[in-house]
């Protein structure tokens, strides 16, 4: 078995683990090869290898666990209703209810990368979906925290918002906001 000189180092290291003898052979054209068996060549010389220091392999499971611990992020959400204000009144000329929210994301990360906290907060803000609830029922919204409800009826109403993650889990919920809608009553004569 002949091996080119470029693979000599690999063969030498391999031979240490197998405890095989290495022979260096030079043919009549001056080509050098290393083998584990002596063969007919112009010159043969037995190679004595010095002991080699070895390092044990990495425990990949422990490295992965440590990386997850280093990159862990603690995210806190604060969702509030900004419009309508608590206790506000919609008068007869205001036909539509406009709801807006504000989402504050505070992230604390143990990552050593600069800007990791801001990146985690932005990712959480982008991946979440904000649902608007009017009197406990979800109303159509843009998913980013605003909605317009057409022709709302008179009376007392509450509006809430909740942030859902990609898995559908509620991550944060706003406090309910109560508001009042005023509409004239038209009485028909009997």
The pLDDT-based confidence of 178 (bands split at 50, 70, 90) is very high
**Entry field: residues in the chain:** 190
Beta bridge partners of 97: 149
Lookup: tokens for 3: 């091996």
Q: How far is CA 141 from CA 71, 90, 101, 130, 133, in A?
A: 34, 20, 11, 8, 10
Lookup: tokens for 130: 């904000």
HEC string for 10-36: HHHHHHHHHCCCEEEEECCCCCEEEEC
89 in the same domain as 15: no
164 in the same domain as 90: yes
pLDDT for 38-62, tens place per residue? 776 566 677 777 777 788 887 877 7
157 in the same domain as 99: yes
Q: Is residue 57 part of a domain?
A: no
Res 139: pLDDT: 84
82 in the same domain as 39: no
141 in the same domain as 95: yes
85 in the same domain as 30: no
158 in the same domain as 121: yes
Res 70: pLDDT: 47
Rounded to whole angstroms, the Cα distance separating 97 from 91 reads 11
The answer for residues whose C-beta is within 8 angstroms of residue 105's C-beta and 6 or more apart is 75, 76, 77, 78, 121, 122, 124, 125
pLDDT for 77-134, tens place per residue? 888 899 999 998 888 888 888 899 888 877 666 665 666 666 666 666 677 788 889 9
Res 15: pLDDT: 47
The number of distinct structural domains making up the chain is: 2
The pLDDT-based confidence of 8 (bands split at 50, 70, 90) is low
116 in the same domain as 33: no
Mean local confidence (pLDDT), 176-184: 88
166 in the same domain as 78: yes
Q: Is residue 11 part of a domain?
A: yes
127 in the same domain as 88: yes
Residue 143 has pLDDT above 70, yes or no: yes
pLDDT for 16-37, tens place per residue? 445 567 788 888 888 888 887 7
CATH code of residue 81: 2.60.40.10
Q: Is residue 53 part of a domain?
A: no
The parent domain of residue 161 ranges over 68-181
Residue 176 has pLDDT above 80, yes or no: yes
150 in the same domain as 102: yes
């Amino acid at each position: 078995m002949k091996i080119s000189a470029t693979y000599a180092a690999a063969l030498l290291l391999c031979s240490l683990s197998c405890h095989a003898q290495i022979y260096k052979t030079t043919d009549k054209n001056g080509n050098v090869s290393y083998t584990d068996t002596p063969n007919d060549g112009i010159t043969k010389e037995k190679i004595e290898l010095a002991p080699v220091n070895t390092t044990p392999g990495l425990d990949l499971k422990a490295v992965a666990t440590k990386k997850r611990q280093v990159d862990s992020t603690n995210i806190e959400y604060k969702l509030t209703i900004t419009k309508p204000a608590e206790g506000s009144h919609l008068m007869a000329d205001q036909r539509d209810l406009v709801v807006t929210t504000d989402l504050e994301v505070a992230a604390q990360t143990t990552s050593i990368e600069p800007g990791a906290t801001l990146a985690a907060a932005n990712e959480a803000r982008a991946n979440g979906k904000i649902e608007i609830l009017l009197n406990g029922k979800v109303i159509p919204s843009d998913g980013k925290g605003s909605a317009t409800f057409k022709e709302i009826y008179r009376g007392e109403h509450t509006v809430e918002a909740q942030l859902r993650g990609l898995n559908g889990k509620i991550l944060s919920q706003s406090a309910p906001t109560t508001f009042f809608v005023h509409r004239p009553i038209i009485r028909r004569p009997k």
